[in-house]
Amino acid sequence: MNVTVIGSAGAASAEERALRDLYVEHGPALHSYVLRLLGGDTHRTEDVVQETLLRCWTKQNLVDDEGMAVRPWMFRVARNLVIDAHRIRAARPQEVSGATWVSELGIEVDDIDRMLSSIVVQDALQALTPAHREVLLATFFADRTTQQAASVLGVPQGTVKSRVYYALRSLRTALEERGVR
């Protein structure tokens, strides 16, 4: 099966060959011009260059037989496409990310993360045995040493140490079950 791409060297019609020649002759300069207009956005630049060449194709006056200079016309079409795209984006309401509305409410993203983390930790603590939960509250959350926690809980210091060890292991497992690493 023989496939001919529009503008390729094997193009059948004179218009297709003319489009290829236009691209070869003016494409790099047009690309550079549009790239500058768009501030270095290569993806949008390629779209504008392609649309410009498509408009040349549909105009079907690719050969300079009317005395019209093709290159300035192509640059004007490309410029107009860039301006039109800018106007369309300016007319649309600005897209708002979640961070924007959160900051407008006076809530910082870190505060929300801390709140969500505390909910997950509180849920994981509920999965522990009462003795393990009690020892973690008496040590880590109350900012006490194991000796201070032992006197508050009324158990030996060694018991507090072993309960803290096993409570932390259980808490780690409970958090992993909730998707926290």
Please tell me the least confidently modeled range out of 26-35, 41-50, 61-70. 61-70
Range of the domain at 36: 14-91
Which has more confidence, 174 or 9?
174
Q: Examine the domain organization and report whether 21 and 82 are in the same domain.
A: yes
Domain count for the chain, please give it. Answer: 2
Q: Examine the domain organization and report whether 116 and 148 are in the same domain.
A: yes
Tell me the whole-structure pTM to 2 decimals: 0.44
Each residue's pLDDT tens digit, 54-90: 887 777 655 555 545 778 888 999 999 999 888 888 7
Given 50, 70, 91, the domain boundary residue is 91
Tell me what the pLDDT averaged over the chain comes to: 80
Question: Interior CA angle at 55 toward 83 and 21, to 5°?
Answer: 115
Domain annotation covers residue 96: no
Given 34, 63, 91, the domain boundary residue is 91
Question: Interior CA angle at 36 toward 55 and 20, to 5°?
Answer: 35
Residues 5, 13: contact at Cβ < 8 Å? no
Rg (CA), the chain: 34
Predicted pLDDT of residue 139: 93
Residue 61 belongs to domain with CATH number = 1.10.1740
* SS3 label, residue 178: coil
Given 64, 91, 118, the domain boundary residue is 91
